[in-house]
Amino acid sequence: MKTIKHIKTSKDHLNEIYQQIDLKFALVNIDEELQEVKPLTAIVKCRDYLSDALVTAITGTVLNRQYGFLYKPEDSEVWDISRQTNLLLQVPDKYVEIFNNNFHLINDLEEWYGWDISTIEKVSGGIAGNETYLLVGDRQWSRSTFMISLYTFLLRIMCEKNESISPDIETHVTYVATLGAGSKNNAAICQSIVKSGVPIWGVIQHIDEIHANTNIIGESSLEISPSLTPRIHDYGGILRFFDHVTSFRTGADKSLGMNKMHLLHDFAWNYFQLDTSNGDVSTCTT
């Protein structure tokens, strides 16, 4: 069993919103020779902190401190995302069984698209009251702020109990949105996904378009300034994307829908335009 070398703590108070399901994450590298897991950030529940750190890992630019969080590679080392996505997961004991029972939903999605299957491995040295895992996933999950946001959200809703006999990722999202949420935060995001009409498989199917047709912060990013930190933190994740697509799709809020400051503006617009039959972006086939 691998051992956590040292759990990092933030020097400043992290201003994180309350989460009923307190699943936490940290960026890590792995030393296979020493069988050690090396956390590079504090263990956090705010998934947007990981997006902030990912931008630094991709571009080399250290962003400004945001809500108490700061990732400076010179204080540890650069997150190695050249071949895979490595995360530390801290799962509260009361959710461990549910999490493990649902984890195949992410694997099923990955297998469908020919990605490397995510694996979880127990590690020692974690915090009492939790099961601590080393998660190793496909490189695709750390290509951009959008993808790390999607990945960590799917991991979080794996802690949501689902009474369905044989759910897939779409039915699980719908279930959490309408019936089964143990977390109001999770329910709200799932409701935004369902309302947008964009299925999770549709996002994965069009992932290359996301990275080719948008100004999202990712592996093809141009020069990044630390002054962009608030924009990256607040607009680089999945919730803003799904709300943005809904805005285009329904025309309910043109001020949001046409806001080019949104990191995912270009792709949301292109995705919306792909289908001309009934405005349902879930049916696009390009």
Using one digit for the tens of pLDDT, what is the confidence trace for 213-238?
555 555 545 456 555 655 665 667 78
pLDDT score at 137: 97
pLDDT per residue over 24-59, tens digit each?
998 899 988 889 998 888 888 888 788 878 877 777
Confidence (pLDDT) at 108 = 95
Dihedral sign from CA coordinates of 115, 80, 262, 24: positive
pTM of the predicted structure, to 2 decimals: 0.83
Question: 136 or 16: whose pLDDT is higher?
Answer: 136
- How many Cα atoms are found within 13 Å in the side-chain-facing hemisphere of 69? 26
pLDDT of residue 58: 76
Q: Which range in 167-171, 179-183, 282-286 is most confidently predicted, on average pLDDT?
A: 167-171
Which two three-digit tokens encode residue 37?
């897991």
Q: Specify which residues 221 forms β-bridges with.
A: none
Domain boundaries, the chain: 3-283
What is the rounded average pLDDT of the residues 3-17? 65
Tokens of 116: 């490397």
Separation between Cα atoms, residue 284 and residue 180, nearest integer Å? 29
Q: Is residue 7 predicted with pLDDT exceeding 60?
A: yes
pLDDT at 282: 37
Beta partners for 89?
25, 133
DSSP H helices in the chain: 47-59, 96-102, 104-112, 145-157, 169-175, 184-196, 200-205, 207-212, 229-235, 238-250, 254-257, 265-274
266-272 contacts: CB < 8 A, separation 24 or more? Answer: 266/213, 266/214, 266/215, 267/209, 267/210, 267/213, 267/214, 267/216, 267/241, 268/214, 268/241, 268/244, 270/209, 270/213, 270/214, 271/198, 271/206, 271/209, 271/245, 272/245, 272/248
Neighbouring-strand partners of residue 91: 131
At residue 256, does pLDDT exceed 50?
A: no
Q: Which two tokens stand for residue 248?
A: 């285009």
Length of the chain, in residues: 286
What is each CA distance from 94 to 21, 100, 130, 159, in whole angstroms?
10, 12, 8, 9
